[in-house]
Amino acid sequence: MKYLTDFGDSAVLLPLSAAVFIWLLVMRPARSAAWWIGALIFCGAVTVVLKILFFACPPALDISSPSGHTSFSLLAYGGVAGIVAVERQSPWERTAIILSAIGLVASIGISRVVLGMHSEPEIIIGFAIGAAALAIFGFGYLRLGGSGRTITPLLIGVTLILTVFHGSKLNPENKLHELGGWLDFRSLVCPVAEPLPRKVMAAR
């Protein structure tokens, strides 16, 4: 399960997202790269804000930190799959590519639960954030249609990134919890609760 969950780490997904951005900038109209950046900003901002707020004031006993692995994975791998599917002519190839991306993201989400890093509701929230971000990118990109441009550089870049960065760690969760404590969000959104202790919980 750890092998699967490592595919959703930011240390892998950040360079992968950069590779997608570069391919879009070189091979497609500049506005397609702008839609990608917009989707990334939306995904990251919503995930970060909810992590800080939910840590300060959990809406339920089993919800304290939406799964960033899940939200970011759905956008990153879904984005790559969407680009490749648009450039493929065969419906069977498109279906296989999309199903493969869904399977990978679902496996990453399940691995987070099995490893005890997140609860099922936190995974569902992560899926919702990632799906909304992917819809933003898809709305802009699908309007452009296929280009006939080669996707080989993109696929090679993705393969190299997964090979080189898989297993690397980049966990900002503690910093987000510290920020939430410093800003004392608990007293703002949960006025009846006790003040947030400065010692943050272990990274999830």
- Report the pLDDT averaged over residues 112-122: 93
Domain-located, residue 120? yes
The range of the structural domain enclosing residue 135 comes to 2-189
Among 57, 1, 18, which Cα is nearest to 164's? 18
| Lowest model confidence (mean pLDDT) among 134-138, 141-145, 197-201 | 197-201
Check whether 18 has a pLDDT greater than 70: yes
Which pLDDT does position 147 carry in this prediction?
65
Q: What's the total number of domains in the chain?
A: 1
pLDDT of residue 51 exceeding 80 = yes
CB 137 within 8 A of CB 82: yes
What's the CA angle centered on 41, arms 203 and 144, to 5 degrees?
A: 135
* Confidence bin at 23 (pLDDT 50/70/90): very high
Mean pLDDT (the chain, rounded)? 84
Residue 203, in any domain of the structure: no
